[in-house]
Amino acid sequence: MRVKCVICDKIEGIEDESLEAKRLRNRPIHTYMCKDCSIRISEKTKARIGTGNFRFYRARSEKDDW
């Protein structure tokens, strides 16, 4: 299966029977990102977290004491 990275527009081939290919076929909202772009984004995110100016806006999980 030929896929295109949404960030750098690099075209790569992935195996047709892989889990990632199945997800891309069955759920059109999922997009493909090449390994170079995903590594670059993860490094930059870790650097932003290290500065202390990065906030996670996650929903608080309420514990039920029932």
Q: What percent of the chain has pLDDT over 90?
A: 56
Average pLDDT over residues 31-60: 87
Q: What is the dihedral of CA 48, 50, 52, 56, to 10 degrees?
A: 60
Average pLDDT over residues 52-63: 76
Write out pLDDT tens, residues 41-50: 999 989 988 9
Handedness of CA 40, 46, 48, 51 (dihedral sign): negative
Q: What pTM does this model have?
A: 0.67
Distances from the Cα of 64 to the Cα of 42, 61, angstroms: 34, 9
Spatial distance between the Cα atoms of 38 and 44, rounded to a whole number of angstroms:
10
